[in-house]
Amino acid sequence: MENPELKIPVIKKILIGLIAVVFIGGISILIDKDTQAANMKLAAMHASPSEKKKLSADRIRKKSRPAIQVTEAYLQNEQQANDTFKGKVLYIAGTIADIKNNTPEQPDYALLKGSKNDIYVQCYLVEEQVARQLKPGMNVILKGTCEGLSTNVLLKNCKLVLVE
């Protein structure tokens, strides 16, 4: 006949051992993530200027939203899109459909291709000399503050961040 008092300590030891393994595994995963982040920071600090530009461009691409995605969001549900975008600084990626060079009283703007319903992201550019260098068909990422939907989705105070 088996002694029930011996079974309980064996089960306890097994459970404690399993908990210890899970705990140690969790700590090692956290340490590994911290190490990876530290290695990436170290690599960025010692990167050549061209490598730094590439790292920066990759971050910008990850932050950006396609112009088509933003215009579609406004077409589907304007109120929800306003809650998501209006008043926020956005990085918008898209293809320039047209550039409008205006008078000194009116800022220049770029129209980024939006949805198929002839709606664009209209980006008012703060740097006139940059606006004059942009051409239709260029793929760009612009940074600006979303003002919501008028005829187009409006972005104010836009700066050119990246030309692809």
pLDDT value, residue 73: 94
Name residue 157's amino acid: N
pLDDT value, residue 39: 46
- For 46-85, where are the alpha helices, taking DSSP H only? 49-63, 67-76, 78-85
Q: Calculate the CA dihedral of residues 78, 83, 87, 91 and round it to 10 degrees.
A: -80
Query: How far is the C-alpha of 61 from the C-alpha of 79, rounded, in Å?
Result: 26
Q: Give me the tens of pLDDT residue by residue for the chain, a chain 164 residues long.
A: 555 555 566 677 777 777 766 667 666 565 555 555 554 554 445 445 555 566 588 888 888 999 999 999 999 999 999 999 999 999 999 999 998 877 666 678 899 998 877 899 999 998 888 888 889 999 999 999 999 999 999 999 999 988 88
pLDDT value, residue 46: 47
Query: What are 55-85's pLDDT values in tens digits?
Result: 588 888 888 999 999 999 999 999 999 999 9
> What's phi and psi for 135, nearest 5 deg?
-135, 150
pLDDT value, residue 42: 47
pLDDT value, residue 34: 57
